[in-house]
Amino acid sequence: MTEILKTEDGVIEAVMPEGFRLMSDTEAADAGQSELNMIMIKNDRKHFMMSFSCRKLNFLAKALSLKTALNDHEKKIESASAKQKLNYRKLASSACTVDSEEAASLRYEYTVQNTVQVSEYVLVKHNGYYCGFSCAARKENFEENYHLFEELLSKVKLH
């Protein structure tokens, strides 16, 4: 049976990929995520996590370009990584689409407990909201499992 996941405000709707489960609030906090209106899922066997969230844009954010907003997000990641000594390194950024909406993505790596992780963050501006989608995995597992993130994004509906 297909499980549909929705953010509390109903802006993002996604299909739970096979083999994934919802992460508990404790697991999300341990992963460094405590954002309201966020859904985090994980495939334990593949050590692959994905999340999505949205937040209402304030007046200033509405004026920002998608690229500028992604650059601001990158600065926050860099700052948090520096404080925690996670050895942040940007790998790539690109344009993409989510539910026919223009999006921008950022791929980077960082080190947690001597393990290199790769993460990708995709940002969309939609109807007065920022919608963010991310995935993370150990570096050695990332590329072989990245299709799971692409599958999630391909089935997202923005309302």
Arch. (CATH architecture) of 4-158 = 3-Layer(aba) Sandwich (3.40)
Enter the pTM of the model: 0.91
* pLDDT, tens digit only, all 159 positions of the chain: 678 898 888 899 999 999 999 998 788 777 666 666 789 999 999 999 999 999 888 887 788 889 999 999 999 999 989 998 899 999 999 999 999 999 999 999 999 889 999 999 999 999 999 999 999 999 999 999 999 999 999 999 999
Q: Domain boundaries in the chain?
A: 4-158
Task: Using alpha carbons, select from 7, 21, 111 the residue that is nearest to residue 52.
Answer: 7
pLDDT of residue 31: 67
**Could you identify the residue written with the tokens 């990158």?**
74
